[in-house]
Amino acid sequence: MSTLVQAGAHPAPWFRRDGGLQAYAEVFERMRAFTEARTADTPDELWLVEHPPVFTQGLAGKAEHVLLAGDIPVVQSNRGGQVTYHGPGQVVAYPLVDLRRLGIYVKEYVFRLEAALIQTLEIFGVVGFRVPSAPGVYVNLADPFNLGLPAGPRQDVFEGLGKIAALGIKVSNHCTYHGLSLNVAMDLEPFVRINPCGYAGLKTVDLATLGVRAEPQAVADVLAERLGHHLGHSSNPVPFAF
């Protein structure tokens, strides 16, 4: 899409806030308040965080997709999608972007987020790809380094695949919040307590499972640069303060 090149050609600064480990509910309320208060002149921001263990339900979330929450809290959210898990070792990125100012609609915004994720994975040697009607980024479990979609007939769309990145967004008055998560090196056990994104049996993986050794901060830096490219921004780091 030619607009992707245009978005990255003359980047405008946005504020990048690196928050480290932050409680999900607090960040949720902060970005909702930020979005409600922003004006046409408010600079866009990118928030990069990790969350303590938490299951989050999107607006389409169904209680039956939480199989066994156990000691992990379940938080209702106003993002799109269904249930997912956040925990340490996962990079979570929240782009707070004015789509009207950028000149794009929601469908292209999602495409750009996924493009940034796929290119980030490529830098770490992993081939990621989209699955139609299932937002996020996936890998071929048989060979995540050289192959795309598994070849041959499959019983279902996710056969042979593992999900490595999830998306869930909210758009209010043309402005985005919530965002995306990329699994780097985390405890994946909580994912078996849910039907990830509403899909029973969907396998979830991280870079560490695929044999890629990377620090979450290093992955976050690459992802931030790729998001900036696709959303027309260069980074201007500022402290993340509540």
Expressed in percent and rounded to 5, the helix, strand and coil fractions of the chain are 30, 30, 40
Spot the catalytic one: 180, 197, 220, 231.
197
Helix (H) or strand (E) segment spanning residue 170: strand 161-172
- Burial state string for 40-54 with b = 16 or more CB within 10 A and e = fewer than 16: eeeebbbbbbbbebb
Whether residue 197 lies in the annotated active site = yes
At 108, phi and psi to the nearest 5?
Answer: -70, -35
How is residue 66 annotated by DSSP? B
Q: 134 - beta bridge partners?
A: 131
Residue 239 CB-density burial (10 A; 0-12 exposed, 13-18 middle, 19+ buried)? exposed
Element (H, E) at 179: strand 175-183
Q: Residue 156 in contact with residue 201, Cβ under 8 Å?
A: no
Angle at 50 between CA 48 and CA 56, to 5 degrees: 105
From CA 160, how far away is CA 152, in angstroms rounded?
Answer: 11
The residues carrying an active-site annotation are 197
